[in-house]
Amino acid sequence: MASDTTAGTATGVLSLVQPHLLELLGYAPIEPTDVLAERLGIAPDDIVKLDGNENPYGPSPGTVQALAAFRDYHRYPDPQQRALRTALSEYTGVGAAHVVAGAGSDELIDLLLRAVVGPGDGVIECPPTFGMYGFSTRVAGGRIVSVPRTDGYALDVDGIAAAASDAKAIFVASPNNPTGNPLAAGDLEALLATGLLVVIDEAYVEFSGGSVAHLVPQRENLVVLRTFSKWAALAGLRAGYGIMPQALAELLMQMKPPYTPNIAAEVAMLASLDDRELLMERVEAIVTERKRLSDALAVLETMTLYPSAANFVFARLHNGDGAATHARLARQGVFVRYFDSDGLRDCLRFSAGTPEQTDRLLDALRLPASAAG
Ligand X SMILES: Cc1ncc(COP(=O)(O)O)c(C=O)c1O
130 binds ligand X (CB under 6 A): yes
Give CA–CA dist 146/330, Å, rounded: 32
| Among positions 55, 92, 105, 351, the unique one binding ligand X when judged by CB under 6 A | 105
Identify which of residues 187 and 359 has a Cβ nearer to ligand X in the complex: 187
Beta bridge partners of 169: 123, 197
Helices 263-274 & 82-92 angle (0-180, nearest 10): 30
Nearest-approach distance from CB 330 to ligand X, in angstroms: 20
Identify which of residues 130 and 365 has a Cβ nearer to ligand X in the complex: 130
Q: Single out the segment in contact with ligand X by CB under 6 A; choices: 68-76, 99-107, 316-324, 329-337.
A: 99-107
Identify which of residues 48 and 200 has a Cβ nearer to ligand X in the complex: 200
Nearest-approach distance from CB 24 to ligand X, in angstroms: 18
Beta bridge partners of 226: 241
**Residue 200 phi, psi (nearest 5):** -100, 115
309 binds ligand X (CB under 6 A): no
Order of all β-strands in the sheet with 122-125: 99-102, 240-243, 222-227, 197-201, 169-173, 122-125, 143-146
C-beta atoms surrounding 71 within 10 Å = 6
**Residue 151 phi, psi (nearest 5):** -55, 140
Please confirm whether the linkage preceding 79 is cis (ω < 30° from 0): no
Number of residues located near ligand X, criterion CB under 6 A: 13
Contact characters 268-297, ligand X, x per CB under 6 A: ------------------------------
Q: Which of residues 147-206 bind ligand X (CB under 6 A)?
A: 173, 177, 201, 203
Identify which of residues 201 and 289 has a Cβ nearer to ligand X in the complex: 201
**Cβ atoms of residues 19 and 27 within 8 Å:** no
Q: Single out the segment in contact with ligand X by CB under 6 A; choices: 101-109, 152-160, 242-250, 252-260.
A: 101-109
Identify which of residues 132 and 271 has a Cβ nearer to ligand X in the complex: 132
DSSP 109-173: HHHHHHHH--TT-EEEE-SSS-THHHHHHHHTT-EEEE----GGG---HHHHHHHGGG-SEEEEE
| Among positions 50, 66, 172, 235, the unique one binding ligand X when judged by CB under 6 A | 235
Q: Which of residues 44-73 bind ligand X (CB under 6 A)?
A: 53
Alpha helices in 202-303 (DSSP H): 205-208, 246-255, 263-274, 276-300
| Among positions 51, 106, 206, 266, the unique one binding ligand X when judged by CB under 6 A | 106
Q: How many CA atoms lie within 13 A of 50 on its CB side?
A: 34
Nearest-approach distance from CB 178 to ligand X, in angstroms: 8
Give CA–CA dist 290/309, Å, rounded: 9
Q: Is 292 helix (H, G, I), strand (E, B) or coil?
A: helix
Q: Single out the segment in contact with ligand X by CB under 6 A; choices: 55-63, 72-80, 103-111, 281-289.
A: 103-111
Give CA–CA dist 52/209, Å, rounded: 21
Integer CA distances (angstroms), 119 to 18, 61, 137, 172, 330, in order: 11, 46, 10, 22, 41
Q: Is 226 helix (H, G, I), strand (E, B) or coil?
A: strand
Q: Single out the segment in contact with ligand X by CB under 6 A; choices: 102-110, 116-124, 296-304, 363-371.
A: 102-110
Identify which of residues 352 and 364 has a Cβ nearer to ligand X in the complex: 352
Nearest-approach distance from CB 75 to ligand X, in angstroms: 24
311 binds ligand X (CB under 6 A): no
Identify which of residues 60 and 136 has a Cβ nearer to ligand X in the complex: 136
Identify which of residues 235 and 313 has a Cβ nearer to ligand X in the complex: 235
Identify which of residues 183 and 365 has a Cβ nearer to ligand X in the complex: 183
Nearest-approach distance from CB 229 to ligand X, in angstroms: 3
Q: Summarize as ranges the residues that interact with ligand X (CB under 6 A).
A: 53, 104-106, 130, 173, 177, 201, 203, 227, 229, 235, 240
